[in-house]
Amino acid sequence: MAKPRLALYWAASCGGCDIAVLDIHEKILDVANAFDIVFWPVAMDFKYDDVRRMEDKSIDLCLFNGAIRNSENEEIAHLLRAKSKALVAFGSCAMEGGIPGLANNTTKEEILRFVYKDSPSTVSSNGGVYPQQRTAMPEGEIEIPLLWNTVRSLDQVIDVDYYIPGCPPVPTQIWGVIEYILSGKPLPPKGSVLGAGVKTCCDECKRERQERKLKQFFRPFEIEAKPDECLLDQGIVCMGPATRDGCGALCPTANMPCRGCYGPPPNASDQGAKMVSALSSIIDAHEPEEIERILDQLVDPIGTFYRFSLAHSILRRSEKV
């Protein structure tokens, strides 16, 4: 029997998800033994035309990481959907926009202006030269992908079968999913989140929670966190209560607050809304003025509460007025 065919792709991502796949260490050899890897731009030399020549539904499993923010990302998402039997949104960016999704807090024009004109590292003599979609070269015209104004998660563009959350997904969880698929057991229902739990990060966290009421919040650099107490109890904004478990509470274990990369837990659709709810119940104030004073300490609510999930949140992007 022919080996099942595996494809991996990166769209708008940092490459960390691909590194996470390699972080299963020597087990990658088992993957190479069990699967016929037919497409993996970060590690192997295949071209898009190789994929275009494949028959529809001839890839058994496609792990797709990265958000959709330009015309190339979108084109390849549609292409891989047509060629794949099971397509997995792999990692925070594909699942919910991830860090690139924070671009939805601004506009394409502002991003281009900063990067190509205003940023301190832009050489002034070249300042103001924007990427041109088409450029005539001696060899012929070259074309670069078109950047969208709004970053989208993979399931806002194509039909997605499964999700594996995380920035990046934890290698042990990745291997768990691959092992399960190789075992030949029946696959879970479509739309399932694999390689993660069904509770919150707090359920995995070893720190002791006393559910203190707070008058003051801190950013992580402002105080030294005590190692055994709940970070929220200490006034550090930790996304644990609004984040799915599965990572083993890696960040709180390393004395850093949870940043929310595993996305909202089951039955919650919007991490920011859940965080507003969670923090509102621990603020220790009854007077409007005092409440405002405490809220002033919570800087950048969008960037903090939607660090990974802005593109997949209820409102998806901010409107600049």
Partner 1 sequence: MAFEPKIVGFLCNWCSYTGADLAGVSRIKSAPNVRIIRTMCSGRVDPTFILKAFQLGADGVIVMGCHLGDCHYQDGNFKTIRRIPFLKRLIQGFGIDSRRLRLEWVSASEGDRFAKVVNEMTEEIRGLGPLQLYVHKVALNAGQHEMAE
Binding site for partner 1 (CB under 8 A): 105, 148-150, 152, 156-157, 268-270, 272-274, 276-277, 279-281, 283, 285-286, 288, 291-292, 295, 298, 301-302, 305, 313-321
Beta pairing, strands 84-90 & 162-164: parallel
| Cα(34)–Cα(21) distance, integer angstroms | 15
HSE-CB of 33 using CA atoms within 13 angstroms = 7
| Least gap, CB of 316 to partner 1 (angstroms) | 5
Taking only Cα atoms into account, the Rg of the chain, rounded to an integer number of angstroms, comes to 22
Least distance (Å) between residue 149 CB and partner 1: 5
The rounded distance, in Å, linking the Cα atoms of 191 and 204 is 24
Cβ proximity to partner 1, 169 vs 265, nearer residue: 265
Nearer of residues 137 and 321 to partner 1, judged by Cβ: 321
Long-range contacts of 125-129 (CB under 8 A, 24+ apart): none
Q: Do the beta carbons of residue 245 and residue 268 sit within 8 Å?
A: no
Is residue 77 within 8 A of residue 102, CB to CB? The reply is: no
Q: What's the distance, Cα to Cα, between the start and end of the chain in Å?
A: 60
Q: Closer CB to partner 1, residue 86 or residue 291?
A: 291
Instruction: Please report how close the Cβ of residue 152 comes to partner 1 at its closest, in angstroms.
Output: 6
Least separation, in Å, of the C-beta of 268 and partner 1? 7
Closest C-alpha to 169, from 13, 4, 5: 13
Paired tokens of 201: 């990060």
Nearer to partner 1, 60 or 270 (CB): 270
Nearer to partner 1 (CB atom), residue 98 or residue 252: 98
Q: Which is closer to partner 1, CB of 182 or CB of 268?
A: 268
Question: By C-beta, is 86 or 273 nearer to partner 1?
Answer: 273
Long-range Cβ pairs for the range 202-205 (8 Å, 24+): 202/240, 202/241, 203/245, 204/245, 204/246, 204/247, 204/248, 204/249, 205/230, 205/240, 205/249, 205/252, 205/253, 205/258
Least distance from partner 1 to the Cβ atom of residue 19, Å: 29
Nearer to partner 1, 149 or 216 (CB): 149
The Cα 269–Cα 250 span in angstroms is: 23
Least Å from the CB of residue 315 to partner 1:
5
Distance in Å, CB of 281 to partner 1, minimum: 6
Residue 210: CB minimum distance to partner 1, A:
19
